[in-house]
Amino acid sequence: MKQLFDDVSFKCSKLVTKNYSTSFSLAVYMLSPSIRDAIYSIYGFVRFADEIVDSFHGFDKEDLITEFEEDYYKAFDRGISLNPILNSFQQTVKEYNITDDLIQAFLRSMKLDLIKSDYHSKEEYDAYIYGSADVVGLMCLKVFVSGDNERYNLLKDEAMRLGSAFQKVNFLRDLKDDNLVLNRNYFPGVDLNSFDENAKTAIINEINEDFRVAYEGIIKLPLEAKFGVYTAFVYYKKLLKKLENTPYQEIGNARIRVSNYTKAGLLAKSFVSYKLNLVQ
């Protein structure tokens, strides 16, 4: 019956992914069925930790994130947790040899959101992005290469750049909420009061360079992973283009989105490009 519980646990991680991110859920669906559950479990883990620090207002967030971390390590040691998200994640960690330094780096960045509001230097900014995004890309890469350490080491820099690009797009899209709701400012020297077209252009140029490097890794991914990752890449590139075409004043006043209709079109275009071997 443990297998039944494990199956339910992975389904819970899938449900979390589908409800919290339609775009990421769509990208995961484009992966090979053999690795989808593992990626769902990674998303479920990082999403729950992120929700604790971003959304659970009125609760003791520090206590919750500490308990979440402790419960994960109990799950890892026991090989089971009654928290289905942790139960599925600990299995993925073991199966794909996701190293603990990646998990600890991620949790450190989540905890920073409880105590740190401003990032004044590039070093602080890069360190936060490494923990909050780059290591998530590396966790996924562990799954994609399925134990091939040589391939992992070959692709890890590009995987980190893709994680960075995704996170920076999110920061730019969420500039208003991060500043006004969460009282956070991730971009060094930039806030709603000083944000202008020059600041926006500099950020977009930085993200485009991350995407350029990341693409070189995407085309080298195993077939099981390539189309799914490329789908996410195309979606975020489209979102970045929308941000580029949006006046800087509007970015600070509204959350820019890609419509479901546009997402469907992007998926179709990505599929055609992939099938015509243009992703190479």
170 vs 133: CA distance, rounded Å? 11
What sign does the dihedral 83-84-85-89 (CA atoms) show? positive
Q: What is the mean pLDDT of the chain?
A: 89
Average pLDDT, stretch 105-130?
94
Predicted pLDDT at 189: 78
Q: How confident is the model at residue 259 (pLDDT cuts 50, 70, 90)?
A: low
Helix (H, G, I), strand (E, B) or coil at 118: strand
Residue 183 exposed, middle or buried by CB count within 10 Å (0-12, 13-18, 19+): exposed
* pLDDT tens-place string over residues 69-101: 999 999 999 999 999 999 999 999 999 999 999
* pLDDT tens-place string over residues 132-181: 999 999 999 999 999 899 999 999 999 999 999 999 999 998 887 777 66
Find tokens 């020297």 and name the residue.
Answer: 189
Q: How confident is the model at residue 26 (pLDDT cuts 50, 70, 90)?
A: confident
The answer to whether 71 touches 78, Cβ cutoff 8 Å, is no
Q: How confident is the model at residue 276 (pLDDT cuts 50, 70, 90)?
A: very low
Cα–chain-centroid distance for residue 88? Answer: 18
66 vs 89: CA distance, rounded Å? 17
Q: Please, what are the domains in the chain?
A: 2-275 (1.10.600.10)
Average pLDDT, stretch 222-239?
92
* pLDDT tens-place string over residues 27-75: 999 999 999 999 999 999 999 999 999 999 999 999 999 999 999 999 9
Find tokens 């890609």 and name the residue.
Answer: 258
Phi then psi for residue 274, to 5 deg, are: -65, -45
* pLDDT tens-place string over residues 209-229: 999 999 999 999 999 999 999
Q: pTM of the entire structure?
A: 0.90
Tell me the C-alpha to C-alpha distance, in Å, between residue 243 and each of 51, 76, 165, 228: 24, 41, 13, 23
